[in-house]
């Protein structure tokens, strides 16, 4: 499992018509797309996903933002996927992100930062299961093997 991670193209990415550009960056960096869909999160679904941040001052704004339009969760595969993907997207705050990273190129601010990437292998497993059923994943790439 250490070769998989979950990306989410966030509502600002979709609003800015950047789905294609961002996916190009991801594919050019050598990630394989194993599953992808467009979803509109309910407040409860967004709260569940970001449970770990529930006591942070930005939590309510984060839920408003993440439910403001559709998102595109994507299951990605590459060796050392979690770490490699976090390098590709850059720091949470685009002002602090390295040149050439997805957030540096396209994000507006620390909240509206275009894209999510799992922060550990353990969370990648949980986050993938949050958006994709076993059946969807098995059908694509022998997920259950
Ligand atoms: P991500 O790291 O994908 O998941 C948590 C999200 O919370 C983060 O992206 C931002 O969208 C948001 N976030 C994190 N830190 C802050 C902050 N200090 N202020 C506002 N939003 C934040």
- Domain borders along the chain are 4-136
| Model pLDDT, residue 107 | 98
C-alpha to C-alpha distance for 49 and 34, rounded to whole angstroms: 20
pTM of this structure: 0.94
Residue 143 has pLDDT above 70, yes or no: no
What is the rounded average pLDDT for all residues in the chain?
94
CA 132 to ligand 1 centroid distance, Å: 23
**CA separation for the pair 35, 141 (Å, rounded):** 9
pLDDT digits 0-9 by tens, 64-107: 999 999 999 999 999 999 999 999 999 999 999 999 999 999 99
Q: Report the CATH number of the 4-136 domain.
A: 3.30.70.141
What is the predicted pLDDT for the residue at 135? 79
Query: Is the sign of the CA dihedral 11, 35, 133, 81 positive or negative?
Result: negative
- Token couple for 40: 């509109």
| 103 Cβ inside 6 Å of ligand 1 | no
Average pLDDT over residues 110-126: 97
Q: How far is the CA of 2 from the centre of ligand 1 (A)?
A: 24
Strands of the sheet containing 115-117, edge to edge, are 32-36, 72-77, 4-9, 115-117
Measure the CA–CA gap between 75 and 132, rounded to whole angstroms: 9
Which pLDDT band, with edges at 50, 70 and 90, does 134 fall under? confident
Q: Is the pLDDT of residue 122 over 80?
A: yes
25 a catalytic residue = no
Tokens of 99: 């040149």
């Amino acid at each position: 499992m250490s070769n998989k991670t979950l990306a989410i193209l966030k509502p600002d990415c979709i609003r800015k018509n950047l789905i294609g550009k961002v996916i190009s960056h991801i594919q050019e960096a050598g990630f394989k797309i194993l599953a992808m869909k467009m979803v509109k999160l309910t407040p409860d679904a967004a709260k569940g996903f970001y449970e770990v941040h529930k006591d942070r001052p930005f939590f309510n704004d984060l839920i408003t933002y993440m439910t403001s339009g559709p998102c595109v969760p994507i299951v990605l595969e590459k060796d050392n996927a979690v770490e490699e993907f976090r390098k590709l997207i850059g720091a949470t705050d685009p002002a602090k992100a390295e040149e050439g990273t997805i957030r540096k190129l396209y994000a507006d601010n620390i909240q509206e930062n275009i894209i999510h990437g799992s922060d550990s292998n353990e969370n990648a497993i949980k986050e993938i299961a949050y958006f994709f059923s076993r059946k969807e994943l098995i059908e694509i790439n022998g997920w259950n093997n």
